[in-house]
């Protein structure tokens, strides 16, 4: 399908590179991933600890849903300050420790990786800069291969992280259907760039804030989408699980309050459909990215022929085109948001 969107910023140009980045990963990361998953299959960890900040932390939530749902191994997100500020080591013997960073330079992530390694964990870094302090610290390095990303708003590096996580889980589970779908992920991302979500732009751009909703793996991209609205459009957005938002947060929903909902075609679909049906009676600005339902107001088209666990990666690809458009409508420069820099070195 044709789209009205064309890249107008560095953020837009970089997000169009994501399909090629994922193709490069698939072509060049096999040896590194095979080495890691061979170890994991021979000696499965008792649990997994993830460590990242911002978009990287949102990517680790995707890892949590994939690893727990496909392997039954618990995944917890580390609070980096426990090690870096409070100087308390965490009992992570027999764990798999996964650190995610584009630059690999943040001191707190490096300290956490060192502490996890010293405590007996197997350590992995998903990192774009492979000659970085974080990469030098861990047992296994999985290059993101996103190349230079100069826009402050991460796009292709976030997608590259999700893709790397999916490739690790695919190797770990040896699931034939999932691994077959991974091979076609670059083509799915190209299709995602051709989906048009700009009908949602005007209502979102004119709002004072919105909720971004997902469930399962899509909750991870809901968190990323909410962050992108904040940093590129100076627009307050909050992410919630479709299972949680109907509690206190619903008090803010009015007829004009926008909701952006991501729904993949998996076991969560029925509950999200019920949520959407209920919300259509509460707001006129409900936008739903899902398969089918093209005749319903607020429908956002998605890549249909994609594995449910990979669908959120394609949806966030399309979302970034919407985010760029909303930013420009609001008079913002998504390449250089106020008060932000590309690399944040947290201690």
Distance CA(337)–CA(228), nearest Å, equals 10
Tokens read off for 291: 């398969």
Tokens of 165: 């996580």
- Residue 247's contacts (CB-CB under 8 Å, 6 or more residues apart) are none
Alpha-carbon dihedral of residues 289, 294, 299, 302, nearest 10 degrees? 30
Query: By three-state DSSP, how is residue 287 classified?
Result: strand
* Phi/psi of residue 151, nearest 5 degrees: -65, 135
Q: Considering only CA atoms, which of 255, 249, 250, 263 is closest in space to residue 299?
A: 263
Cα(258)–Cα(92) distance, integer angstroms: 42
The residues that are catalytic are 342
Radius of gyration of the chain (CA): 19
State the DSSP H helix or E strand holding residue 261, giving kind and residue range, or none if neither: strand 259-262
| CA contacts within 13 A on the Cβ side of 4 | 9
Instruction: Give me the residues paired with residue 47 across strands.
Output: 95
List the one residue out of 99, 138, 93 whose CA is nearest residue 120. 93
DSSP state of 235: -
> What SS3 class is residue 112?
helix
- Interatomic CA distance for residues 220 and 241, integer angstroms: 9
* 40 contacts: CB under 8 Å, gap ≥ 6: 96, 122, 172
């Amino acid at each position: 399908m044709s789209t009205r969107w064309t890249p107008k910023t560095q953020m837009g140009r970089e997000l169009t590179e994501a399909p090629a980045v994922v193709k490069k990963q698939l072509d060049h990361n096999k040896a590194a991933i095979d080495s890691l998953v061979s170890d994991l299959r021979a000696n499965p960890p008792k649990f997994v600890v993830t460590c990242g900040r911002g978009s990287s932390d949102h990517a680790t939530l995707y890892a949590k849903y994939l690893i727990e749902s496909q392997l039954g191994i618990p995944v917890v997100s580390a609070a980096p300050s426990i090690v870096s500020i409070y100087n308390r080591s965490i009992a992570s013997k027999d764990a798999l420790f996964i650190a995610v960073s584009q630059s690999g330079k943040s001191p707190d992530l490096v300290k956490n990786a060192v502490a996890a390694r010293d405590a007996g964990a197997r350590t992995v870094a998903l990192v774009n800069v492979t000659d970085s302090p974080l990469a030098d610290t861990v047992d296994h390095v999985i290059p993101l291969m996103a190349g230079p990303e100069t826009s402050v708003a991460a796009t292709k590096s976030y997608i590259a992280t999700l893709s790397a996580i999916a490739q690790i889980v695919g190797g770990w589970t040896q699931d034939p259907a999932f691994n077959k779908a991974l091979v076609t992920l670059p083509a799915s991302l190209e299709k995602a760039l051709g989906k048009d979500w700009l009908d949602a732009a005007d209502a979102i751009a004119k709002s004072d804030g919105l909720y971004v909703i997902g469930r399962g793996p899509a909750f991870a991209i809901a968190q990323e989408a909410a962050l992108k609205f904040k940093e590129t459009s100076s627009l307050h957005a909050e992410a919630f699980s479709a299972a949680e938002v109907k509690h206190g947060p619903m008090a803010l929903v009015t007829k004009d309050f926008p909701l952006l909902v991501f729904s993949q075609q998996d076991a969560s679909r029925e509950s999200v459909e019920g949520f959407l049906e209920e919300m259509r009676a509460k707001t006129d600005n409900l936008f739903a990215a899902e398969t089918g339902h093209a005749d319903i107001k607020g429908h956002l088209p998605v890549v249909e022929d994609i594995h449910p666990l990979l669908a959120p990666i394609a949806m966030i690809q399309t979302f970034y085109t919407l985010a760029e458009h909303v930013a420009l409508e609001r008079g913002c420069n998504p390449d250089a948001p106020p008060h932000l820099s590309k690399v944040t070195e947290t201690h």
